[in-house]
Amino acid sequence: MLELRDAPSATPNQFDDCIYLVIDATKTKGPVFREIAVVDTNLEQVIADFLDGQYVEPLKIVSFNIREGWSRDASAEVGQEIESRALSNNRILPERIRKFISKHKQAVRSRV
């Protein structure tokens, strides 16, 4: 009999790290968490994927930390970082990314 302690972990070994997953709208399946290797769920890779145009229509970014036991919507802060990096590198963001950033900026303003 396989006991739970013998089961392989479904979580990364870096329990101190936050994991970032993007909910993306696809044309055929609707909103999905994009399939991504665990090693690519860090903030830097998610930002790089946004800047490289890897998402069809990003809707939300969920961040969680398994060791600390929390999860939250990180869309506004990650969107702000994406915008900041694009501006500092003189990059023009695609419309779908600008829409994502604008939507989450407005959500933060409406909470204040």
pLDDT digits (tens, 9 = 90+) for 80-99: 999 999 999 999 999 999 99
Rg (CA), the chain: 16
Predicted confidence (pLDDT) at residue 38 exceeds the cutoff of 90:
no
Task: Take residue 10 and report the two structure tokens written for it.
Answer: 């479904």
Provide mean pLDDT across the span 16-34. Answer: 87
- Measured CA to CA, the distance from residue 97 to residue 57 in angstroms comes to 8
Residue 29, pLDDT score: 82
Percentage of the chain exceeding pLDDT 90 = 58
Least confident of 53-57, 71-75, 84-88: 53-57
* Backbone φ, ψ for residue 98 (5° rounding): -60, -40
Percentage of the chain exceeding pLDDT 70 = 80
pTM for this model (two decimals): 0.78
Domain range list for the chain: 16-111
